[in-house]
Amino acid sequence: MKLKVCGMNQNPIEVAQLHPDYLGFIFWEPSSRYFGGDMPQLPQSIKKVGVFVDTPLEQVLEKVAHHHLDAVQLHGKESSEYCGHLRHAELVSASQKDGIPKQVRGDGLEIIKVFSIKDDFDFSILKEYESVCDYFLFDTKGKLPGGNGYTFNWSVLEHYPSTKPFFLSGGIGLDSVDELKAFLNSPASQYCFAIDVNSKLEIEPGLKDIPSLKTFINELTDDLQLKTDN
């Protein structure tokens, strides 16, 4: 089981010291966790995820090149065609090395497509995304595209029809550890690839609560062999 900590902003270096597998940086400007600074130097074992919401393809690839992102998380209404274009895109970056523009190819990225769930979900819409995404991410449907702090009904995933690995997100924190353990030991979690945490393990938006995050990681590591390097 992998761990992704999303909404990185104020203390990514401290979070990186806990050795999660993914760190998410939000490039949607209305977000209170919007990342507009310079990317910190992170261990190569941690994959940097750029989170976008209905962003033009060219802008996504510019961010990928500038920040050397390893993955993109699409949190809007992006179509399967958009994902396909991203998968096969090539763009000359604005950043240069030794005067030579850097080439960026979309097929070198992990593509994570987000779908929001409340009480039920029409899984048939996933079919067209199967060939153009590496992972799905299931989050709670709310007013904002992520970071709402609420969980959805995980039992919906008992009917998951795909073999595509997915991230589980939405209001996961210390108060949901027991419920999370139960889910991860159930058949519904067969294709659960990673746990995605954000707002429930913060002091304020973008400032992660390091002691709580460490406790969360330790509790899951003990029972579920959460695969961090901690």
pLDDT, residue 94, reads 45
Please tell me what DSSP assigns to residue 41: P
The total number of structural domains in the chain stands at 1
* Burial of residue 222, with CB atoms counted within 10 A of its CB: 0-12 exposed, 13-18 middle, 19 or more buried: exposed
Buried residues in 160-184 as b, exposed as e (16+ CB within 10 A):
beeebebbbbbbbbeebeeebeebb
In a domain, 229, yes or no: no
CA distance linking residue 93 with residue 104, whole number of Å: 7
Nearest Cα to Cα of residue 130 among 101, 89, 166, 91: 166
Instruction: Please give the structure tokens belonging to residue 140.
Output: 């709670």
- Residue 218 burial by CB count (10 A; 0-12/13-18/19+): exposed, middle or buried? middle
Residue pair 34/28 in contact (Cβ under 8 Å)? The answer is yes
- Residue 119 belongs to domain with CATH number: 3.20.20.70
pLDDT for residue 3 = 96
Full pLDDT tens readout for the chain, 230 residues: 899 999 999 999 999 999 999 999 999 999 999 999 899 999 999 999 999 999 999 999 999 989 999 999 999 999 999 999 998 886 544 444 444 445 555 557 899 999 999 888 999 999 999 999 999 999 987 555 555 556 888 999 999 999 999 999 999 999 999 999 999 999 999 999 999 999 999 999 999 999 999 999 998 886 555 544 43
Q: Return the residue matching tokens 């973008």.
A: 206
Structural domain range at position 97: 2-224
The predicted structure's pLDDT at residue 226: 53
Question: Does 230 fall in a domain?
Answer: no
8 A C-beta contact, residue 74 and residue 113: yes
In this predicted structure, what is the pLDDT of residue 141?
72
Please say whether the dihedral angle defined by the alpha carbons of residues 52, 194, 9 and 105, taken in this order, is positive or negative.
Answer: negative
Determine the pLDDT at residue 224: 53
Q: What is the pLDDT of residue 109?
A: 85
Q: What is the pTM of this model?
A: 0.88
| Burial (0-12, 13-18, 19+ Cβ within 10 Å), 94 | exposed
